[in-house]
Amino acid sequence: MGTTKSEGFSEEVNELAVLFKAMGHPARIAIIQFLRTQEKCICTDLVNELPLAQPTISQHLKELKNAGIIQGSVSGTSICYCLNLDKISELDAFLASLKYDQNPTCC
Amino acid sequence: MGTTKSEGFSEEVNELAVLFKAMGHPARIAIIQFLRTQEKCICTDLVNELPLAQPTISQHLKELKNAGIIQGSVSGTSICYCLNLDKISELDAFLASLKYDQNPTCC
DNA sequence: TTAAAACATCGTAATATTGCAATATAACAA
DNA sequence: TTGTTATATTGCAATATTACGATGTTTTAA
């Protein structure tokens, strides 16, 4: 155990879980927030911005990238990371659907 | 380590991370989806619905409850769990904000 | 070529998560 | 009371995550 069981759940459910999980860490939320507001999305800035060491930040960036939530393109010595709004929209759509189909007789 | 570092991040960031983390598991997404569609939100139904043992489901329900994403009220021998739409809206608002403030010069 | 800057990767210790069997609890029915 | 049903808790083994120092890699500048 310690392993998440994914068999028996739909593809959609598993994909949503991966995306939510990727966002389930303060550093990764902070990275996403920072990317939203910066002109240039460079890891060095993040090192100055977050209370974490560079390797740790690099690791979090990788996880966000693996989940498809951010994309990075090399730009000289630095890397330009930015949000993938498609993935954000997937999560958003799921959450929005919860608000409308809610059964009124429950609770 | 293994411990998530929360000092140095804003309250808002930490709270969002907790909520996203709570949703970052297929069983918990499936529970939320199931709650949305059922008339009666009872754990027994979940045991028949999910590919997990009863104690495991109970544990996931507890985590969702701790995060404030669902609420449970006792109803005789069974328990009626339902979604807390306020929390869903918090996440939704965060995701929606990402879609609009995006910097166009990046990537 | 050499050095510096910006990231990534590796290795590893500490801790967290997951899943479940066994067991407990709580409410109702007979 | 006794049994049954519904759910929670405990305990634990297996695995995952987190954080970071040390060390690579790649790019640019001198």
CATH code, domain with B79: 1.10.10.10
Query: Is the pLDDT confidence value at B94 over 80?
Result: yes
Q: What does the pLDDT read at residue A6? A: 96
CA distance B89 to B50: 26
State the DSSP code for B105: T
- Both tokens assigned to B14: 């930490």
Q: What does the pLDDT read at residue A41? A: 73
Q: What does the pLDDT read at residue B72? A: 86
- Both tokens assigned to A100: 């409308």
Q: What does the pLDDT read at residue B89? A: 95
Query: Percentage of chain A surpassing pLDDT 70?
Result: 92
Does residue B104 lie in a domain region?
no
Does residue A69 lie in a domain region?
yes
Does residue B43 lie in a domain region?
yes
Q: Which whole number is the average pLDDT over A29-44? A: 84
Domains contained in chain A, number: 1
Query: Is the pLDDT confidence value at A1 over 80?
Result: no
* pLDDT tens digits, B63-92: 999 999 999 888 788 888 889 999 999 999
Q: Which residues is B72 bridged to in the sheet?
A: B81
Nucleotides of D under 7 A from a protein CB: 5-11, 13-22, 26-28
C1’ C28 / CA B34, Å: 27
Instruction: Note whether B20 contacts A16, CB cutoff 8 Å.
Output: no
Structural domain of residue B49, as residue ranges? 11-96
SS3 A107: coil
Does residue A87 lie in a domain region?
yes
Does residue B71 lie in a domain region?
yes
Query: Is the pLDDT confidence value at A85 over 80?
Result: yes
Q: What does the pLDDT read at residue B44? A: 81
Does strand D come within 7 Å of the CB of B62? yes
* Helices marked H in chain A: 11-23, 26-37, 43-49, 54-66, 85-100
Q: Which residue is nearest to nucleotide C29 (CA to C1')?
A: B77
Banded pLDDT at A40 (limits 50, 70, 90): low
Does residue B5 lie in a domain region?
no
* pLDDT tens digits, B6-52: 999 999 999 999 999 999 999 999 999 999 887 667 778 899 999 99
Testing the interface with A: which of B1, B70, B94 to mutate, by most A Cβ within 10 A?
B94
Does residue A47 lie in a domain region?
yes
Does residue B27 lie in a domain region?
yes
Using left for φ > 0, alpha for ψ between -120 and 50, and beta otherwise, residue B25 falls in: beta
Compare CB distances from A98 to B36, B81, B101 and report the shortest one's residue. B36
